[in-house]
């Protein structure tokens, strides 16, 4: 049985002060509403300590949105996994399409980070997804296969329990356009079957696959009702309690 996993990617929003206030409000609201899904928030690096402090005593997981592919050293402006772990952060989002497209992250680079995160004992939310052009050219499966095999290269079968996949069609991110539940489910089914080929059907069966791209209070139920959709990676609608609470209590 796969437990629903809903994550809020704050992107470059929320100062430490705002993030802490929001996180306390969210934790209280989630508790009062009896939310019973796995919940994660990913604040910007500098906001992480204040959010961790605000979420003491709550089950909400605090993750990072990225990390460097080295353990330490002369990498100006970068953050190493050890620094995150020292704060108590054990989960990292890798391969987000904004990092792929704005910062030129390749599958090879993302793979180095995935391997380092695993080596450091961290959990990874690995994002994959196609652009509109790729979808229209019928390349969905080709793109997903290349991303999955590239990003997961040399990741052992044992390590796969630390990997969550987020399927995020690039054309649905921040655009208000959501994949239909059917389209999302069929992409998820493809991802699951591909992981079964790379690893085993057991690993594929246990793999949590989140959908991301304009998830909101009105579409979350239909998406989550699909067999292969196990969670959501939410951007815009994760930034207020009013919008995020109905998503993390979709099953109430
Ligand atoms: P969105 O972002 O919900 O604002 O579309 C999702 C994401 O990028 O993870």
Question: SS in 3 state form for 102-149?
Answer: HCCCCHHHHHHHHHHHHHCCCEEEEEECCCHHHHHCCCHHHHHHHHHH
Cβ–ligand 1 distance for 169 under 6 Å, the answer no
| Residue range 56-75, pLDDT digits in tens | 999 999 999 999 999 999 99
As a whole number of angstroms, the distance between CA 220 and CA 101 comes to 26
Distance 170 CA to ligand 1 centre (A): 9
> What is the b/e burial string over 15-24, where b = at least 16 CB atoms within 10 angstroms of the residue's CB?
ebeebbebbb
Q: Binning pLDDT at 50, 70 and 90, where does residue 1 land?
A: confident
* 44, 173, 216, 240: residue to mutate for ligand 1 pocket, most atoms within 8 A of CB: 173
| DSSP state, residue 162 | G
Residues contacting residue 136 through CB under 8 Å, at least 6 positions apart: none
Ligand 1, pocket-test mutation among 170, 235, 243, 248, most atoms within 8 A of CB: 235
Please state, in angstroms and rounded to a whole number, the distance separating the CA atoms of residues 196 and 29: 38
Taking Cα atoms as reference points, which of 19, 21, 24, 6 lies closest to residue 246?
6
Task: Note the pLDDT tens digit of each residue in 179-236.
Answer: 899 999 999 999 999 999 999 999 999 999 999 999 999 999 999 999 999 999 999 9
Check if 43 has its Cβ closer than 6 Å to any atom of ligand 1: no
In this prediction, residue 24 has a pLDDT band, given cuts at 50, 70 and 90, of very high
């Amino acid at each position: 049985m796969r437990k629903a996993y809903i994550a809020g990617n704050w992107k470059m929003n929320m100062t430490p002060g705002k993030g802490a206030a929001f996180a306390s409000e969210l934790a209280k609201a989630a508790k009062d509403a009896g939310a019973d899904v796995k919940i994660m928030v990913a604040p910007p690096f500098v906001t992480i300590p204040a959010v961790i402090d605000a979420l003491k005593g709550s089950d909400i997981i605090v993750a990072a949105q990225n990390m460097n592919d080295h353990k330490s050293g002369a990498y100006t402006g970068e953050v190493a996994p050890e620094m995150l772990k020292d704060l108590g952060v054990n989960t990292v989002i890798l391969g987000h399409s904004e990092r792929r497209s704005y910062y030129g992250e390749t599958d090879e680079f993302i793979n180095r980070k995935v391997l380092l995160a695993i080596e450091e004992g961290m959990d990874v939310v690995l994002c994959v997804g196609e652009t509109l052009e790729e979808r229209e050219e019928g390349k969905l499966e080709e793109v997903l296969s290349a991303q999955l095999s590239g990003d997961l290269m040399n990741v052992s079968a044992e390590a796969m329990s630390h990997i969550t996949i987020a399927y995020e069609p690039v054309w649905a991110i921040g655009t208000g356009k959501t994949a239909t539940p059917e389209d999302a489910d069929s992409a998820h089914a493809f991802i699951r079957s591909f992981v079964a080929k790379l690893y085993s059907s057991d690993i594929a069966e246990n793999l949590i696959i989140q959908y991301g791209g304009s998830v909101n209070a009105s579409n979350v139920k239909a998406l989550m009702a699909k067999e292969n959709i196990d969670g959501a990676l939410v951007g815009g609608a994760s930034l207020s309690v009013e919008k995020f609470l109905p998503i993390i209590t979709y099953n109430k």
